[in-house]
């Protein structure tokens, strides 16, 4: 088989990801069809649930917020040439850190307590990212395996804390007491109400703005700072980075700390912004969704935002499926997620050779007709 000619940039950036997405949805549609439902109707239900029904958009953006954080956690590591499967565990630690800081600052006014709680989330998440980073950089432990193990260890630590040391006194369910009020992030509907706009009450909260800021920060970090330059150099060509005098081990450790910090910020949405306490498994698989989002969004902030919005809509629309159908459940979304990771990630270049040949033939045809 001869090597196909390279794809033009627009095809690589837009057409190929779109084709991959279509393939994922096509297969999911076929599965819905096999179940005996109309895939287009199901899609319509999801779209209405995610954007049109009252409160739908709020929920969609609420899910989007969490997914942006974990997507960034995966993307930072990707830029440094590492695969961070540990978003789940880093987010778990973010929650623990946020709760500990919030309880520790119960005495302080909100202007101190809230930033401290956010800082707690960032630092604890960074801690849970930096250890695997250190082990990779200095001890050669493979980051994938270490971060998987760290997910389970974090889950165990959370179970332990919620079963004993941090359990709400007098309760038997595994959750902490409500956090002090002053550490709560304001809800979006409250903020809008204050501005005179009445909206449905949804869990969407101020963390959404933190997520947007994080996207901007991520962009500046990766493409505009010297650290970002080092991160990309190490990720693209570790030998050239070494030649250029960049300390690869240091960069890997810092990148993993930053990744963990982004994942830790998930706690601002789930803990400080909505449930106002830490409950078991509050990370709800967002760490894995982050992988899909980073892959789909090509590790670029705009791509990550769009992909996170898609998944946010899927999550909310999936909940709608539960209401509308007896045969389809929200796990359909997991299926779509899996398909997207498969087609946009593992099979990302499956359509590359045929597409490249097609485009080359079309270009040749056009030249021919011009003559």
Partner 1 sequence: MPGKRTGGGGDAAPLALRLEGISKSFGLVRANRNIDLDVKPGSIHGIIGENGAGKSTLMNIIYGMHRADEGRIHVAGQPVDVRSSADAIACGIGMVHQHFMLVPTFSVLENVMLGTEGGMFLREGRQAARRRIMELSERFSLAVDPDAIVGDLNVGQRQRVEIIKALKGGANVLILDEPTGVLTPQEAEQLFDIIRVLRERGVSVLLITHKLAEIMAITDTVSIMRQGKMAGHRETAQTSPEELAELMVGRKVLLEVDRTPANPGNVRFSASGLGYTNPAGIVELADISFEVRSGEILGVAGVSGNGQTQLMEVLAGMRPLTAGTISILGTEIRADTATSPRRIRILGVGHIPEDRHHHGLVLNFEARENMILGFHDSALTGTGFLMDQSAMSSNCRERMAGFDVRPGNPRLNARSFSGGNQQKMVIAREFSANPGVLLVGQPTRGVDVGAIEFIHKRLLALRDAGCAILLVSVELDEIMSLADRIMVLCAGRNVGIIDAAAADRRTLGLMMAGQRQEGAVA
Partner 2 sequence: MSDFFFQLLLILDSTLRIATPLMLCAMAGIFSERSGIVDISLEGKMLSGAFVAATVAALTGSAWAGLFCAMGAGVFMSLIHGFACITHRGDHVVSGVAINILASGLTVVLGIALFRRGGQTPHLPKEDRFTPIEWIGVSVLDPVPVVGAVYRQLISGHNPLVYGALIAVPVCAFIIYHTRFGLRLRAVGEVPEAVDSAGVSVAWLRYRALIAGGLLCGIAGAYLSIAQGAHFVREMSAGKGYIALAAVIFGNWRPIPAFLACLLFGFLEAWTARLQGTTIWLLQDIPTPLVQAMPYVLTVLLLAGLIGRPRPPAAIGQPYGK
**CA–CA separation, 220 and 223 (whole Å):** 5
CB 153 within 8 A of CB 89: yes
**CA–CA separation, 8 and 354 (whole Å):** 13
Q: Which residues pair with 205 in a beta bridge?
A: 187
Q: Which phi and psi angles does 42 have, rounded to 5°?
A: -60, -40
Q: Which stretch binds partner 2 (CB under 8 A): 91-99, 232-240, 254-262, 327-335?
A: 327-335
Residue 244 contacts which entry, partner 2, partner 1, none (Cβ below 5-8 A, type-dependent): partner 1
Q: Which stretch binds partner 2 (CB under 8 A): 10-18, 29-37, 40-48, 59-67?
A: 29-37
Find the shortest distance in angstroms from Cβ 320 to partner 2: 15
Question: Which region, left, alpha or beta, applies to residue 36 given φ > 0 means left and ψ of -120 to 50 means alpha?
Answer: left
Number of residues that bind partner 2 (CB under 8 A): 49
Q: Which phi and psi angles does 205 have, rounded to 5°?
A: -145, -175
**CA–CA separation, 162 and 176 (whole Å):** 6
Name residues contacting partner 1, limited to 78-107 (CB under 8 A).
none
Question: Which region, left, alpha or beta, applies to residue 168 given φ > 0 means left and ψ of -120 to 50 means alpha?
Answer: beta
> Which of 13, 43, 191, 347 is close enough to bind partner 2 by CB under 8 A?
347
Residue 135 contacts which entry, partner 1, partner 2, none (Cβ below 5-8 A, type-dependent): partner 2
**How long, in residues, is the chain?**
371
> Which of 168, 175, 182, 247 is close enough to bind partner 1 by CB under 8 A?
247
Contacts within 8 Å (CB) and 24+ apart, 198-204? 199/55, 199/58, 200/54, 200/55, 200/58, 201/55, 202/55, 202/58, 202/59, 202/62, 203/58, 203/59, 203/62, 203/273, 203/274, 204/58, 204/59, 204/61, 204/62, 204/65
**160 touches partner 2 by CB under 8 A:** yes
Q: What is the DSSP string of 233-250?
A: HHHH-HHHHHHTT--HHH
Find the shortest distance in angstroms from Cβ 350 to partner 1: 19
**356 touches partner 1 by CB under 8 A:** no
Find the shortest distance in angstroms from Cβ 187 to partner 2: 31
Number of residues that bind partner 1 (CB under 8 A): 23
CB 294 within 8 A of CB 306: no
Q: Which stretch binds partner 2 (CB under 8 A): 110-118, 185-193, 268-276, 289-297?
A: 289-297
**349 touches partner 1 by CB under 8 A:** no
**242 touches partner 1 by CB under 8 A:** yes
Which tokens is 363 given? 């270009």
Q: Which stretch binds partner 2 (CB under 8 A): 38-46, 214-222, 231-239, 338-346?
A: 338-346
Q: Which is nearer to partner 1, 116 or 246 (CB)?
A: 246
Name the site residues for partner 2 (rule: CB under 8 A).
31, 35-36, 83, 85, 135, 139-142, 144-146, 148-150, 152-153, 156-157, 159-160, 163-164, 288, 291-292, 295, 326-329, 331-339, 341-342, 345-350
Name the site residues for partner 1 (rule: CB under 8 A).
2-5, 220, 224-226, 229-230, 232-233, 236-237, 239-247
């Amino acid at each position: 088989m001869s090597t196909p000619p390279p794809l033009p940039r627009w095809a690589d950036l837009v057409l190929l990801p779109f084709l991959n997405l279509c393939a994922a949805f096509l297969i999911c549609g076929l599965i819905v069809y096999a179940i005996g439902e109309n895939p287009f109707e199901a899609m319509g239900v999801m779209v209405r649930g995610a954007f049109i029904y009252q409160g739908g958009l709020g929920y969609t953006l609420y899910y989007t917020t969490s997914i942006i954080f974990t997507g960034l956690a995966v993307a930072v590591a990707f830029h440094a040439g590492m695969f961070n499967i540990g978003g789940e565990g880093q987010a778990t630690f973010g929650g623990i850190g946020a709760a500990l800081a919030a309880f520790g600052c119960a005495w302080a006014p909100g202007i101190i307590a809230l930033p401290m709680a956010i800082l707690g989330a960032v630092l604890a998440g960074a801690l849970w990212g930096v250890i695997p980073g250190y082990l990779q950089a200095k001890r050669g432990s493979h980051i994938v395996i270490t971060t998987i193990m760290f997910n389970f260890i974090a889950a165990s630590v959370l179970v332990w804390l919620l079963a004993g040391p941090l359990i709400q006194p007098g309760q038997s369910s595994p959750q902490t007491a409500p956090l002090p009020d002053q550490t709560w992030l304001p809800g979006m509907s409250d903020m809008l109400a204050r501005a005179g706009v009445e909206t449905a009450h949804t869990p969407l909260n101020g963390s959404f703005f933190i997520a947007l800021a994080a996207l901007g920060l991520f962009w500046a970090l990766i493409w505009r700072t010297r650290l970002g330059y080092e991160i990309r150099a190490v990720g693209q060509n570790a030998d050239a980075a070494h030649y250029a005098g960049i300390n690869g081990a240091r960069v890997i450790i810092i990148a993993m700390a930053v990744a963990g910090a982004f994942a830790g910020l998930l706690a601002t949405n789930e803990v400080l912004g909505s449930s106002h306490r830490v409950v078991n498994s509050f990370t709800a698989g967002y760490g894995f969704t982050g992988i899909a989002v980073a892959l789909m969004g090509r590790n670029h902030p705009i791509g990550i935002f769009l992909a996170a919005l898609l998944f946010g809509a899927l999550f909310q629309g999936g909940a709608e499926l539960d209401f509308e159908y007896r045969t389809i459940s929200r796990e359909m979304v997991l299926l779509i997620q899996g398909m997207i990771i498969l087609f946009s990630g593992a099979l990302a270049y499956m359509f590359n050779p045929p597409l490249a040949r097609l485009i080359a033939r079309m270009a040749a045809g056009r030249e021919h007709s011009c003559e």
